[in-house]
Structure 1
Amino acid sequence: MHTTTSATDRAYRYAKEAILDRRYAGGDLISEGDIAAGVGVSRTPVREALLRLQGEGLVRLYPKRGALVVPVSQGEIDDVIETRRLVEGHTAQKAAGAEADVRGALVRRLGELLGRMRTEVDGDRQAFILADRDFHREIVAASGNDILVGLYDSLRDRQLRMMEEGVRTVARMCRNIDEHAAILAAIEAGDGPAAGRAVQVHMDGAAHLLGART
């Protein structure tokens, strides 16, 4: 049982990462055999992995043909941005209103992640992206609501494959840093409304990059 589960997890991670970084583009039809060969497992765990991905809305299964990578639609882009506004605006305001010791610990973690982003502007772009993602996730996680954390993770996964190559320029990365700094400053000051507004400004930038209508 452990071996099967491990093989399924490997196949799931392999296929999901390939979809998110667009090695498998929207509209591509991928076969169980392709994934099985790439991971080095049999087709049974691949089938289970694809069922999980279908549940996440990333693929659509066609018996005996394979799995179609679901193209990103304008509606999905709009929905992701709108939901991130609601989740992150709410949790940022909640973080700003937390007890001083809880807020202080969060501020320290956010400061470390912001410092990592500054370091990686001219360095490892993937490290910048991970620090960016972790910054937002720390704020959502501070809410103590595991459902919101899971929702945030799925939203960022979806947004990752919406980003076109070349969009994350150094200028945009520097702007991201400034926007993150504004969110951090509002949380540190315990100013919930300002934290909410700072998140909305940041999401305006994301909406512009993705061509969202929200």
Structure 2
Amino acid sequence: MSDTSGISAAEAVYRHVKDRVLTGELEGGRMVSEGEVSGALGVSRTPVREAFLRLEVEGWLRLFPKRGALVVPVAPHEIDEVLDARALLEGHAAADVVTRPADLAALVDALDAVIGAQRASHDAGDLRGYTEADVEFHRLVADAGRNSLLAGFHRTLRERQQRMTAESVRGRTAAARTVLDEHRALRDLLAAGDAAGFGRALVTHLDNTHRGGRTR
């Protein structure tokens, strides 16, 4: 578990379990017990119970008395809704930023740095770093548009995006490399000022990553 100094035991458990859900270590459909978590972290069951209740409210867990907690799977309709929203928001931002050469150049430089960080995480087998870089790549695009409301909504999808990406590439080296290649292609389309091409490639990229290349 990461540094938990200065926070309550319940908060530490909450962060630990949620992190494992977001990185795919706790896969959707798996049951996890209070005893399992309390034993792993060296805390009593009381803070575990508090953390589980909080995670249930947020929709990550579903509690079953005397049995434990079910990690709620990502539903197919949730995948569709998240991807549709992201395609619209990022496509809109791309169409805006390509009209501003200086801002576009700054975005491309930032994307280069993120792609480099994501590749380094991939090579090191760091799934958390890889998925965080994936989120950052798409956040940069969404934030490049001049609509703060749309960018803010895109940020609310951050945790769902991280979890979906982790589940899509975990243990699948070829899929993880494909994401990197497609990020580079998306970056190149933006650098060329091709917002329409970016929008089409983005939809394909999201389908490939989260639907295995299969549209609805």
TM-score (norm 2): 0.75
User: Which of 137, 143, 167 is the aligned partner of 1:135?
Assistant: 137
Tell me what 1:183 maps to.
Answer: 186
Change (3 A) 1:46 1:102: farther
Task: Give the whole-Å Cα distance in 1 for the aligned partners of 2:180 and 2:25.
Answer: 28
User: Which of 152, 160, 185 is the aligned partner of 1:155?
Assistant: 160
Tell me what 2:106 maps to.
Answer: 105
| SS of equivalent residue, structure 1 residue 68 | strand
Change (3 A) 1:27 1:130: closer
Q: Report % sequence identity.
A: 37
Tell me what 1:92 maps to.
Answer: 94
Task: Give the whole-Å Cα distance in 2 for the aligned partners of 1:47 and 1:205.
Answer: 38
**Does structure 1 retain, via aligned residues, the 8 Å contact 2:13–2:48?**
yes
Could you tell me which amino acid in structure 1 is paired with residue 160 of structure 2? L
User: Cα distance, 1:16 vs. partner?
Assistant: 1.7
Task: Give the whole-Å Cα distance in 1 for the aligned partners of 2:85 and 2:196.
Answer: 18
Q: Which runs of 5+ in 1 are unaligned?
A: none
| SS of equivalent residue, structure 2 residue 28 | coil
Tell me what 1:83 maps to.
Answer: 85
Aligned residues: 207
Task: Give the whole-Å Cα distance in 1 for the aligned partners of 2:163 and 2:27.
Answer: 13
User: Cα distance, 1:32 vs. partner?
Assistant: 2.6
Say which is worse superposed, 129-138 or 194-203, in terms of deviation.
Answer: 129-138
Matches within 5 A, 1:162-177: 162-163=167-168, 165-169=170-174, 172-177=175-180
| SS of equivalent residue, structure 2 residue 29 | coil
| SS of equivalent residue, structure 1 residue 25 | coil
Tell me what 1:201 maps to.
Answer: 204
User: Cα distance, 1:110 vs. partner?
Assistant: 0.5
| SS of equivalent residue, structure 1 residue 197 | helix
User: Cα distance, 1:60 vs. partner?
Assistant: 0.8
User: Cα distance, 1:59 vs. partner?
Assistant: 0.9
CA RMSD for the aligned pairs?
Answer: 3.2
User: Cα distance, 1:167 vs. partner?
Assistant: 2.6
